[in-house]
Amino acid sequence: MKRSFPLILICGILCLASGRLDVGVFSEMSESDPLPAGWEAVPFKDVERFTVYTSVIDGGRRVIKAESEDAASGIGREMRVSAHEYPVLEWSWKAEKLVRGSDLLKKEGDDYAARVYVAFDHDKSAMGFFEAFVFRILEMLYRRPIPRRALSYIWSNNAPAGSIVSNPYTKRVKMIVVQSGPEGAGKWHAHQRNVAEDYRAAFGHEPPDIRGIGFLTDTDNTGEHVTAYYGDIYLKTAPVSGTD
């Protein structure tokens, strides 16, 4: 995408007894619900086409379908949660195919069939011109200071799983490859990450509070057509190793 960014969310239902925060329980949506409560679409003014997100039944459960054809936009919710108290992010996704032209290291290759963003607390320090451009869409959404850092979990077409690299548009976003290669296309995959451990590995220091989580399917750089699906997503207290 032309502006890699994290999406932000408001903390919704707290399942404290089970040690789980329900970030997006799409499986409990009704057919008439476009998105779960608290979630919103995040369009971009500088692209001509937006990714279309809809609620559908797939694999016997209700999920979010994302379809992008030379398009870019995301969905997300705001929240404020301690990354130390709720370090475990759990979600599932499916991509019918991957973006052939995606490339971790190139701006023109910054397109992915499936991404999950975790945004962290904002940075009050001044930004350079380029980073200000990359994050200006966020200020339109927040109407408050932009996040300081973000993790972007991606499904890459060829980069090795476990790779951690800076987004080609900004070092404030670190991309982590949680799945690689087209072999798993067309099937559901469940992932679990320790965002606190991943933040330390990516940025070299302790994570501030989580400020939001969201999804992004985009092909505005490559002009390709992809369809992906996102299942329920949670934050949990139980520690994991930082790998799937």
Render pLDDT for 42-58 as a digit per residue (tens, 0 to 9).
877 778 899 999 999 99
Relative to beta strand 150-156, strand 170-180 is parallel
> What DSSP string describes 70-94?
S-EEEEEEEEEE-TTTS-EEEEEEE
Q: Is 28 helix (H, G, I), strand (E, B) or coil?
A: helix
- Per-residue pLDDT band at 107 (split at 50, 70, 90): very high
Neighbours of 2 (CB within 10 A): 18
Predicted confidence (pLDDT) at residue 16 exceeds the cutoff of 60: no
Q: Which pLDDT score, from 0 to 100, does residue 126 have?
A: 43
Confidence of residue 14 (pLDDT cuts 50, 70, 90): very low
Per-residue pLDDT band for 13 (boundaries 50, 70, 90) equals: very low
Q: Which residue has the higher pLDDT, 103 or 135?
A: 103
- Min mean pLDDT across 9-13, 66-70, 127-131, 234-238 is at 9-13
- Mean pLDDT, the chain, rounded, equals 84
Residue 84 scores a pLDDT above 60:
yes
- Whether residue 41 is predicted with pLDDT greater than 60 in this model: the reply is yes
For 45: left if phi > 0, alpha if psi spans -120 to 50, otherwise beta; the answer is: alpha
Q: Is the pLDDT of residue 4 over 50?
A: no
Q: Is the pLDDT of residue 125 over 60?
A: no
Alpha helices in the chain (DSSP H): 129-142, 195-203
Give me the pLDDT at residue 137, please: 55
Across the range 99-126, mean pLDDT stands at 86
CA pair distance 225, 67, nearest whole angstrom: 8
